[in-house]
Amino acid sequence: MGPVGLAAIALLLAGCATTPSAGSAEALLGGGPSPSPEATVEPPAGSWNGVTPPEGYRAVLVVAGDDPATTTIAAAVEGWAVDHEVEIDRLDADDDTQVLARLEEADGLDADLVIGAGAGVVDEFSYATAQRLDQQFLVVGAQLGEPTRNVTAVVWPGATFRGTGITDDEQDAAAVTPEAAGDAVDAGVASVLAGLTGIVLALP
C-alpha cells in the first residue's frame, strides 16, 4: 500500500480517537511509513469526526481579506475553537505586508497551531513558514506551492489556490460553504494532531 493509502487509514483511525496527541502517527499508521513530504491525501469522508484537541490547546487565526470565502473559512475556524474550548487569537491583515506582521505577532503568542484562512495568506505563508519550522501551521481553503514539514493544508474543489504566479485557481465563494469549511478545519486539525504534517488533504 502506498503512502497516500496509509495516510487515509491514519485519518480514519484518528476519527475514532477522542483525544489524539502529537506524535501518535506511529500508532495510527500501524507501524507503517508516514506520507511522503508534500503528498496529497484523500481522507475518507467523516474520518476526522470526534477528534478533539487536548486541554489547553492554543491557536492563532490569521485572516487576510474580507471576501465571502475567507469570511466563511474564518468563521468555521472560530466555531471550531468555541466547540472544542480552544483559546484562539484572531489577527487580521489587509495585505501581504500585514500578513507578515501578523505572523511576527503570532510568534509571541505561544500557539500550538497557527491557522491561515483562505487564499490571502498563501504568498507570505510560503516564505515565512519555512523560517518557523518549530511552529505548526494549517492553511484552510488553499495550499502552498512547496510546503515544509510544518505546514498542512486542506483543499477542496473551488478552494485550491497555490499562490500568485503558480496557479490561476481562485477561491469560488459558492464552493466555500460553512459545511465545507467546517469539515476542512476538522480534517486539518486531526491531521496535525496525528503528526501527519507537511501534506495536503484533498476533500471531495
> How many whole angstroms separate alpha carbon 150 and alpha carbon 138?
8
Q: Are 150 and 132 in contact (CB under 8 A)?
A: yes
Examine the pLDDT at 172 and tell me if it is beyond 60.
Answer: yes
Q: 111-143 pLDDT, tens per residue?
A: 999 999 988 999 999 999 999 999 999 999 999
Confidence of residue 182 (pLDDT cuts 50, 70, 90): very high
Q: What is the pTM of this model?
A: 0.81
For residues 169 and 18, the model is more confident at 169
Angle separating helix axes 178-193 and 68-83, nearest 10 degrees: 50
CA dihedral of residues 10, 15, 20, 25 (deg, nearest 10): 0
> How many whole angstroms separate alpha carbon 175 and alpha carbon 51?
24
Return the C-alpha cell found at 128: 515565512
Average pLDDT, the chain: 82
CATH architecture of 3-202: 3-Layer(aba) Sandwich (3.40)
Confidence of residue 46 (pLDDT cuts 50, 70, 90): confident
Q: Are 9 and 47 in contact (CB under 8 A)?
A: no
Examine the pLDDT at 11 and tell me if it is beyond 90.
Answer: no
Domains in the chain: boundaries: 3-202
Question: CA nearest 129: which of 102, 109, 154?
Answer: 102
The predicted structure's pLDDT at residue 15: 47
Q: 151-170 pLDDT, tens per residue?
A: 999 999 988 877 665 665 56
> How many whole angstroms separate alpha carbon 137 and alpha carbon 198?
9
